Amino acid sequence: MVLLPLVSTLWWAYQRRERALSELAQVKTLLQHIALANRDWLPVGVLPPAHLQQTQALLHTLTDGMRAYFLPPRFYSTEFPYAGLKLKMMKIAQERAKIMRRITNAFHQLARSSEVLRSAGLGDAQLAQLADWNFQLHLSFERMANIKEYRTPQGIRALSRCYVSLLIPIFFGPYYASLHYGVGTAFAVIFAILMNLGTVGVLHTAMALEDPFDNQGLDGVYVDESLYEAEQAIFFSEELLEPVTHTKADSILTHHQGNSMKGESKLHQSRDANVTVGDSVNELPHSNTDVEAPPHH
């Protein structure tokens, strides 16, 4: 009964974290599939030349808005620097509403962009699939927003704090004192310290996961890195997707495998005179639309 509120608080906190990870994985997957659908579901040349770039820009607006929405702390954070100052709290609430409007507007534009695919001749089944992906993406974002804005059950959290700060020291104090007569003073002191450290540690672990997106705890959800990976997948390079043809060096490499040292020297000469497949892949130009990598946490 003593540890039940603490265990419940910790269980609720980790359940929120696991749900956040699940929704974030779905967001990454849907962003990539929506970009691929706008690129591959119709033949090349049917869509307007700027349609893919516009879709990529909309998806980047979503990822950038999600990053700006999830990373800042909220009012309930115990370390929030402006807690209690109404003016600062109102300012942050206005910023949050502004970011939410930008994200919602990007979802609306993404839904309207499917009309371009309809005009280009995309089938109704594929349009319905794309609309369902847009809906699932919006739903996953709203679920993550609920995890960001709402805390674990306040009653259980308050009861846990009451147990740790008041009930456990009062009711376990006589028990610790009785250990002095039974097993000795040293064991009684060490047991009391370890018991207190354990209960306080469990409570602080749960409190650190109140906001799993703030990147402050060891077990937090690093949404910045995940969204960066999604952006890199969205802004793919068409040139990197073209099949690479085998060069003369490949046939020389295959012909001289297993030969003597003389054959190996010829192979090195052929590599100097020709460009291998690996070199040709490394020399391919990278996409100009890559975004800057986020700082490492």
Q: Are residues 99 and 204 in the same domain?
A: yes
Report residue 16 as tokens: 């929120």
For residue 135, name the pLDDT band (cuts at 50, 70, 90): very high
Who contacts 151 (Cβ-Cβ below 8 Å, separation ≥6)?
76, 157, 210
Query: Does 97 reside within a domain?
Result: yes
Residue type, 76: Y
pLDDT surpassing 80 at residue 128: yes
The residue written with tokens 């919006």 in the block is 138
pLDDT exceeds 90 at position 11: no
Is the same domain home to 226 and 259? no
Q: Looking at the structure, do residues 284 and 184 belong to the same domain, yes or no?
A: no
Residue 108 shares a structural domain with residue 154 = yes
Helix axes 4-40 and 124-149, enclosed angle (nearest 10) = 150
Neighbours of 234 (CB within 10 A): 23
Full domain range(s) for residue 281: 247-297
Is 189 inside a domain boundary? yes
Are the C-beta atoms of 37 and 125 separated by less than 8 Å? Answer: no
Whether 201 and 291 share a structural domain: no
Q: What is the pTM of this model?
A: 0.70
Greatest mean pLDDT range, 38-52, 130-144, 246-260:
130-144
- Asked if 213 and 150 count as a contact pair (C-beta separation under 8 A), the reply is no
pLDDT at 240 over 90: no
Q: Are residues 191 and 297 in the same domain?
A: no
Closest CA to 166 of 122, 128, 116, 200: 200
Residue 82 has phi, psi (to 5 degrees) of -115, 25
Q: What are the φ/ψ torsions at residue 291 (nearest 5 degrees)?
A: -95, 165
C-beta atoms surrounding 201 within 10 Å: 12
Centre a 10 Å sphere on the Cβ of residue 220 and count the other Cβ atoms it contains. Answer: 17
Indicate if 130 and 176 belong to the same structural domain: yes
Residues 163 and 5: beta-carbon distance below 8 Å? yes
Tokens 């540690």 belong to residue = 201
Is residue 46 within 8 A of residue 243, CB to CB? The reply is no
pLDDT in tens, 27-86: 999 999 999 999 889 888 888 888 989 999 999 999 999 999 998 877 655 555 555 566
For residue 241, tell me if it sits in a domain.
Answer: no
Do 136 and 42 lie in a common domain?
yes
On whether both 228 and 253 belong to a single domain, the answer is no
pLDDT value of residue 45: 83
Compare 257 and 28 and report the one with higher pLDDT.
28
- What's the Cα-to-Cα distance from 158 to each of 18, 45, 217, 289, rounded to whole Å? 23, 62, 21, 49
Q: How many independent structural domains does the chain possess? A: 2
Task: Please answer whether residues 13 and 152 qualify as being in contact, where contact means their C-beta atoms are separated by less than 8 angstroms.
Answer: yes
In a domain, 242, yes or no: no
> Quick one: which of 195, 100, 187, 184 has its CA closest to 144?
100
For residues 246-256, give the mean pLDDT: 40
pLDDT of residue 78: 52
